[in-house]
Amino acid sequence: MYEADDPRSAMSAKPADGGAASAAKAFGQSTYARFYAERPQEEVDGAKTWYTRGQNFVVCYSEVSDGAVFTRKGQADEYVLLIHDPDLSAVVEASGEMSDVDGYSITMIPSGDSTVTVKGSGVIVRLISTANADIAAKVSNPDKYAGVHPHVPPFEPWPDPVGGFRIRSYSLDVPDEPGRFGKIFRCTTFMVNVFPVQGARDLTKLSPHHHDDFEQCSLALQGWYMHHLRWPWTANFHDWQEDEHEKCLAPSVCVIPPQVVHTSAPSDPSANVLVDIFSPPREDFSDMEGWVLNADDYPRK
């Protein structure tokens, strides 16, 4: 389904399910969270925060003022801090260490107690697993996840990082390379792909595809996107759903269920920024040599 010049065309296709998918009763539901048009779920201590979930994760998008503090007590597992703005920074404290985190970076923070203190005004994003009930309770879309997802297997974290858990921060200032797809980082709980700024997409070169057993979360940080979703047909007509063609400005989140054919088109003529989020990390991207930029720190499953 990919164009020949799309780096994903080099990936090995996953074997067919053998018919199990065609017997499915449901495929889950998509989510579109438009933060620019919705009230935040939380306003406290110099921060407005929107919470949107998938099966295994919560996107915590915060507009912050200088000195805003985010504290986690008894965090169940490793989580991610994304600061896309190069003029924003933070001080992170966790596991008895303190680290100055620059802007335009992604940081992995250990479980347990931690504090993020923001330096400057702008936007930060935290990615936290749904194993943390206090965060999952704040989301705007709890009705979409009232039970077990029909096609997402139970969550299992990936292996511990080399040398144990600690604050690990990585610059996003990584040059693009032919054959590599975005800027991909992973930890034990998440894989995050930060795309470079791009203009409007050529509509003759879209990339409709699907994932058998994991959701994709697309976080728009700049510009606007058209998200196109096509639902599978089964023998049961009552499982069928209409195609979705949703315009989402930034900031916004689109959560795409497994087995749903999808493609997203950056549409602002000047500048669009998208971040793709997966929990746990994707095996197929991890199989691609050189794609995961911090693979030496986080072993393959």
Question: What's the pLDDT tens digit per position in 118-132?
Answer: 999 999 999 999 999
3-state per-residue secondary structure call for 86-134: CCCEEEEEECCEEEEECCCEEEEECCEEEEEEEECCEEEEEEEECCCHH
Report the predicted TM-score, pTM, of the whole model to 2 decimal places.
0.92
Q: What is the pLDDT of residues 157-216, one digit of tens each?
A: 999 999 999 999 999 999 999 999 999 999 999 999 999 999 999 999 999 999 999 999
Question: How far apart are the C-alpha atoms of 138 and 281, rounded to whole Å?
Answer: 24
Please give the pLDDT value at position 301. Answer: 80
**What digits encode the pLDDT tens for the residues 81-99?**
999 999 999 999 999 999 9
Q: What angle do CA 147, 212, 223 make, to 5 degrees?
A: 85
In the prediction, which pLDDT does 154 show?
A: 94
Categorise residue 182: left if φ over 0, alpha if ψ from -120 to 50, beta otherwise.
Answer: left
Quick check: 21 pLDDT over 80?
Answer: no
273 strand-pairing partners = 222
Given CATH 3.10.20.340, say whether it is the number of domain 7-286: no
For residues 74 and 148, the model is more confident at 74
How confident is residue 23, by pLDDT bands cut at 50, 70 and 90?
very low
Q: Break the chain into its structural domains and give their ranges.
A: 7-286
* pLDDT for residue 123: 98
Question: Across the strands, what pairs with 254?
Answer: 32, 218
